[in-house]
């Protein structure tokens, strides 16, 4: 749209550091009026930090934000709302027991002589819904809506404040394909009504389809802006090139040699209704098998179903020539390990020490006749600390106090000393710095070299 | 046009149905149950817990709880008795009782908000504090043990009276309770304060993000709860004619029970429980005291009252949980089938 080249928001030389780590380095970035602008980059590229600065959650260390050409100070969410910026978060914050209108008008109630003007409020919300053709009823209870419907409520909350910029952070992460389509329609309708959208998604196909422009960040730096209007439009290859950068070629690559040892895990026609369908794979001793795919492709769910966390609806799995147990406890006993992608809530107990966390999967190894042996516990933890090179190397230290990378080393290490024959890993390096990342890969490779079979989701 | 009834309204039929069933049952069991005077008595018994329920409604609808109300009522009564001894005018004392309630409620709310206390444990602790203070202000003999002293000014007794319609008595306490209920119902349905309370109960974080001043609303809710406890204390004192250290024991449980039987969720809001509301509380309280009275008239040990009260509460919560489980299960199945269909289509399309 040629008439909409006017710039709504401009960030100039934004800098943000976390304890000396520069996560945003002199980032220049702008959003035009009435455009869908996507922000792309790998994990840790600085996307969420930039959004949080724009929406007033983090203070910036340097740089200026201009709205409609005027420099503005955004120090809080109130400031960003006052400047017409609204955020639709991945975790929805709706009030399910209330109606759509009550959700949207909460805190902005219309009253007359102290009494609520329910009719007027319902009408105002309904008008807004109709204007953008959102297909909801103002008097509907939010509990009756699907996730997609609830997301629309969040968008409405933004629209009621007359937001001129709506930031959407992974809005399709929990939507079905059909629901996503409906959301895209809404996004286009908002754009056509002059609202700007800052869109963040890991699903690149969505990004190409929706965006008028794409800004790519890498390691906290702006590496490129791609414009649909530019000659040749947006080339997906170039965007990916910008996102991944040169690091792809310089990164240490393992030679792919299919294992020739014994088959450890044999998955045949495995399905979990609604998540994945008809998956067959084999892993051999000493082999590392990677599972690729987009967010929502069912990779996490596959690993969870194999391990026995989630159910399976069809197919079978054999582990060392025996049908795999559906009991997690039994699977751990027989040498299967599982590392969740959500380290914080599923990986460890933060209030407990390293040694207590290490002992958790195999109490038998550190106890005599069911009574905990402190000496055995300590010895086991020390062995683990040595093997994974933990900092600080203190078995009594609470896991909560370690850095992300070292926490992940504990999570991996506890399976290492358990002598797993099969390790299922769901994205082992979330929120882990580069140094620790390669150390963790090294640990996993060593485990494979010692004969373990590994399935890894990246 | 299809008649649309909200879940909260639907839930009101549970205490109504239970009451009718209990009424029919006890009428067949006891001759002097379904009499005008006995029904007057039941309604009168319902009145005081209803006042507290109305107050508790503000707190519970916002997702909090106040367990200190029973002890608070005792403390207010005791202080009022002391004020009567000091010779203060009765009307002034009545006003002061309500104000004291609001002040105690403010303290509860302030502590919970400022120090982020868990409402359950925080008000449990305050219950102990108020009960202890009641003893400190109580009348004690030389041995230091508290004893009941009849209040010196008996004008307050007038409030214990009733209007007679034939052999049917409408007690002033019931009239007051119903007025309180009506006012509170209007506040909940038609004011910003009421809708903010429901919003907080539904999702505190979301309510805060919409700009609702959650701290202020929480404080106000606790103050309303305290003030209505003050009103209740007036009628407790009027009825017993003396302030004792054991007054109002278990009142908080009656108030909470009445709300839950009336359709409220036991904590804040849930998708299957209705919203806490004063009318539901009135119906719930009526049912409770109907059962109490019936059990008493049948000559069954009063222990069965406690079992019934607890049992009905558990039942109400179970209904909510089961409905939630069924709903979740259905949603999951529906979602799963949809996804499968999409996958199948994609497979077919290559």
For residues A426-442, average pLDDT:
78
Q: Is A277 on the interface with B (CB under 8 A)?
A: yes
Chain Cα centroid distance, residue A261: 35
Write out the DSSP string of B327-347.
Answer: HHHHHHHHHHHHHHHHHHHHH
Q: Shortest Cα distance from B189 to chain A (angstroms)?
A: 8
CB–CB of A45/A161 below 8 Å?
Answer: no
The span from the CA of B50 to the CA of B176, in Å, is 10
CB–CB of B217/B201 below 8 Å?
Answer: no
Which residue in chain B has the smallest CA separation from A146? Answer: B331
CB–CB of B76/B144 below 8 Å?
Answer: no
Highest mean pLDDT (candidates A12-26, A247-261, A307-321)? A307-321
**What pLDDT shows up at residue A370?**
80
The span from the CA of B350 to the CA of B340, in Å, is 15
Contact between chains at B269 and A97 (C-beta distance less than 8 A): yes
**What pLDDT shows up at residue B312?**
87
Residues 270-329 of B with CB under 8 A from A: 270-271, 275
Q: Shortest Cα distance from A117 to chain B (angstroms)?
A: 8
Residues 153-172 of A with CB under 8 A from B: 157
Q: Which of A77, A98, A274 sits opposite B339 (nearest CB)?
A: A274
HEC-encoded secondary structure of A60-106: CCEEEEEECCEEECCCCHHHHHHCCEEEECCCCCCCCCCEHHHHHHC
Residue A294 has pLDDT above 70, yes or no: no
CB–CB of A57/A178 below 8 Å?
Answer: no
Q: Shortest Cα distance from B209 to chain A (angstroms)?
A: 9
Q: Is A397 on the interface with B (CB under 8 A)?
A: no
Q: Is A111 on the interface with B (CB under 8 A)?
A: yes
Q: Is B68 on the interface with A (CB under 8 A)?
A: no
Q: Is A274 on the interface with B (CB under 8 A)?
A: yes
Which residue in chain B has the smallest CA separation from A105? Answer: B210
Tokens for B88, please give them. 């203060």
Three-state secondary structure call for residue A417 = coil
Q: Report residue A2's pLDDT band, with 50, 70 and 90 as the boundaries.
A: very low
Collect all residues of chain B within an 8 Å Cβ-Cβ radius of residue A77: 209
Contact between chains at B203 and A94 (C-beta distance less than 8 A): yes
The span from the CA of B72 to the CA of B78, in Å, is 10
Q: Is B269 on the interface with A (CB under 8 A)?
A: yes
Question: Between residues A235 and B41, which one has the greater pLDDT?
Answer: B41
Q: Which of A103, A109, A273 sits opposite B336 (nearest CB)?
A: A273
For residues A318-327, average pLDDT:
90
Distances (CA, A) of A185 to A132, A133, A404, B7: 10, 9, 39, 32
**What pLDDT shows up at residue A100?**
93
Stated pTM of the model: 0.78
pLDDT tens digits, A325-347: 889 989 998 999 999 888 878 88
Collect all residues of chain B within an 8 Å Cβ-Cβ radius of residue A102: 195, 198-199
CB–CB of B201/B276 below 8 Å?
Answer: yes
Q: Which of B275, B336, B343 sits opposite A97 (nearest CB)?
A: B275
Question: Between residues A250 and B175, which one has the greater pLDDT?
Answer: B175
* Residue A314 backbone phi and psi in degrees, to 5: -160, 160
Q: Is B199 on the interface with A (CB under 8 A)?
A: yes
pLDDT tens digits, B265-276: 766 566 666 788
Q: Which of B207, B336, B347 sits opposite A106 (nearest CB)?
A: B207
């Amino acid at each position: 749209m040629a008439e909409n080249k006017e710039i709504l928001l401009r960030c100039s030389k934004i800098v943000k550091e976390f304890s000396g780590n520069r996560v945003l380095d002199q980032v220049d970035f702008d959003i035009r009026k009435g455009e869908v602008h996507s922000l792309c980059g790998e994990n840790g590229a600085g996307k969420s930090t930039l959004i949080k600065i724009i929406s007033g959650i983090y203070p910036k260390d340097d740089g200026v934000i201009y709205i409609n050409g005027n420099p503005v100070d955004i120090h809080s969410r109130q400031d960003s709302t006052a400047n017409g910026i609204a955020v639709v978060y991945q975790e929805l914050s709706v009030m399910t027991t209330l109606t759509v209108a009550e959700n949207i008008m909460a805190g902005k109630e219309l009253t007359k002589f102290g009494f609520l003007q329910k009719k007027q409020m319902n009408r105002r919300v309904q008008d807004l819904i109709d204007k953008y053709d959102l297909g909801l009823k103002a008097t509907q209870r939010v509990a009756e809506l699907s996730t997609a419907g609830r997301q629309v409520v969040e968008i409405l909350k933004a629209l009621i404040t007359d937001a001129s910029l709506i930031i959407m952070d992974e809005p399709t992460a929990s939507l079905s394909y059909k629901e996503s389509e409906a959301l895209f329609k809404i996004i286009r309708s908002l754009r056509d009504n002059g609202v700007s959208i800052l869109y963040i998604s890991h699903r690149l196909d969505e990004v190409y389809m929706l965006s008028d422009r794409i800004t790519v960040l890498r390691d906290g730096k702006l590496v490129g802006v791609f414009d649909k209007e530019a000659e040749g439009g947006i080339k997906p290859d170039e965007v990916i090139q910008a996102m991944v950068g040169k690091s792809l070629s310089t990164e240490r690559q393992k030679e792919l040699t299919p294992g020739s040892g014994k088959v450890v895990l044999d998955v045949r026609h495995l399905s979990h209704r609604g998540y994945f369908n008809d998956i067959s794979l084999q892993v051999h001793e000493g082999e590392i098998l990677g599972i690729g795919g987009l967010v929502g492709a069912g990779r996490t769910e596959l690993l969870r179903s194999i391990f026995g966390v989630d159910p399976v609806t069809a197919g079978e799995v054999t582990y060392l020539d025996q049908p795999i147990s559906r009991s997690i406890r039994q699977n751990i006993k027989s040498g299967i390990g599982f590392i969740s992608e959500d380290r914080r809530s599923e990986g460890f107990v933060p209030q407990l020490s390293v040694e207590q966390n290490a002992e958790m999967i195999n109490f038998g190894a550190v106890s005599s006749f069911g009574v905990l042996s402190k000496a055995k516990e300590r010895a086991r933890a020390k062995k683990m600390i040595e093997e994974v090179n933990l900092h600080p190397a203190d078995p009594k230290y609470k896991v909560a106090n370690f850095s992300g990378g070292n926490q992940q080393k504990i999570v991996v290490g506890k399976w290492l000393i358990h002598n797993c024959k099969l390790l299922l890993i769901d994205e082992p390096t979330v929120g882990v710095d580069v140094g620790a990342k390669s150390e963790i890969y090294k640990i996993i490779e060593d485990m494979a070299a010692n004969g373990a079979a590994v399935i890894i989701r990246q | 046009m299809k008649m649309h009834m909200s879940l909260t309204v639907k839930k009101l039929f549970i205490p109504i149905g239970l009451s009718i069933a209990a009424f029919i049952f006890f009428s067949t069991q006891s001759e002097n149950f379904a009499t005008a005077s006995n029904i007057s008595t039941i309604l009168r018994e319902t009145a005081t817990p209803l006042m507290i329920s109305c107050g508790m409604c503000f707190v519970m609808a916002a997702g909090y709880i106040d367990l200190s109300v029973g002890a608070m009522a005792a403390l207010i009564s005791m202080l009022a008795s002391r004020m009567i001894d000091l010779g203060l005018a009765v009307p002034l004392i009545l006003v002061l009782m309500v104000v004291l309630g609001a002040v105690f409620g403010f303290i509860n709310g302030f502590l919970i908000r400022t120090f982020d206390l868990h409402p359950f444990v925080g008000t449990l602790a305050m219950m102990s504090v108020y009960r202890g203070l009641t003893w400190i202000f109580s009348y004690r003999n030389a041995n230091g043990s508290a004893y009941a002293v009849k209040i010196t000014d008996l004008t307050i007794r007038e409030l214990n009276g009733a209007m007679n319609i034939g052999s049917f008595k409408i007690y002033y306490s019931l009239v007051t309770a119903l007025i309180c209920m009506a006012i509170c119902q209007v506040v909940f349905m038609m004011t910003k304060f009421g809708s903010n309370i429901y919003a907080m109960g539904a999702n505190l974080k979301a309510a805060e993000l919409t700009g609702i001043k959650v701290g202020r609303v929480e404080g106000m809710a606790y103050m309303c709860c305290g003030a209505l406890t003050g009103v209740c204390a007036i009628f407790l004192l009027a009825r017993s004619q003396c302030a004792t250290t054991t007054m109002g024991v278990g009142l908080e449980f009656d108030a909470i029970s009445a709300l839950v039987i009336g359709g409220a969720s036991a904590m804040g809001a849930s998708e299957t429980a209705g919203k806490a509301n004063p009318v539901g509380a009135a119906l719930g309280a009526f049912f409770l005291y109907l059962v109490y009275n019936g059990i008493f008239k049948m000559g069954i040990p009063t222990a069965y009252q406690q079992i019934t009260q607890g049992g009905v509460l558990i039942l109400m919560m179970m209904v909510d949980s089961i409905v939630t489980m069924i709903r979740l299960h259905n949603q999951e199945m529906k979602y799963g089938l949809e996804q499968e269909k999409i996958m199948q289509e994609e497979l077919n399309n290559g």
